[in-house]
Amino acid sequence: MRGRIRRGAVASALALITLVATACGLEAGRSVPLAVRPGSIQPIPELEGVRITVGSKDFTEQEILGLIIAFALDAAGAEVRDLTDIVGSNSLRDAQVRGQVDIAYDYTGTGWINYLGNESPIPGSQAQFEAVRDADRTAHGMRWAAMAPMNNTYAIATSARTAEETGVKTLSQYANLVNTDPAAAATCVGTEFSVRQDGFPGVIRKYGIDAAKVQKQVVDDAIVYQSTADARQCRFGSVAATDGRIPALDLRLLEDDLSFFPQYNAALVMREDFAAAHPRVLDVLTPISRLLTNESITELNRKADVDGVEPAIVARDWMAAQGLITIP
pLDDT tens digits for range 12-39: 433 433 443 333 345 556 899 999 999 9
Task: For strands 236-240 and 187-190, give the pairing.
Answer: parallel
Residue 108, CA distances (Å) to 41, 123, 125, 185, 284 in order: 26, 12, 8, 30, 21
Q: What is the pLDDT of residue 68?
A: 98
Residues whose CB is less than 8 angstroms from the CB of residue 258 and which lie 6 or more positions away in sequence, other chains included: 171, 172, 206, 207
154-253 belongs to CATH 3.10.20.740: no
**222 confidence band (pLDDT: 50, 70, 90):** confident
Q: What is the pLDDT of residue 13?
A: 36
Q: What is the band of 198 on the pLDDT scale with cuts at 50, 70, 90?
A: confident
Q: Please give the pLDDT value at position 221.
A: 86
Domain 8-150+265-326: top CATH class: alpha beta
CB atoms within 10 A of CB 6: 10
Residue-level pLDDT at 29: 64
Structure confidence by residue, pLDDT tens digits, 96-139: 999 999 999 999 999 998 899 998 889 899 999 999 999 999 99
Q: Is 10 left (phi over 0), alpha (psi -120 to 50) or beta?
A: alpha
Query: Residue 7: is its pLDDT beyond 50?
Result: no
Q: Say yes or no to pLDDT of 93 above 70.
A: yes
Residue type, 122: I
Q: Where are the domains of the chain?
A: 8-150+265-326, 154-253
Sheet strands side by side (includes 266-271): 79-86, 51-57, 103-107, 266-271, 142-145
CA separation for the pair 155, 199 (Å, rounded) = 9
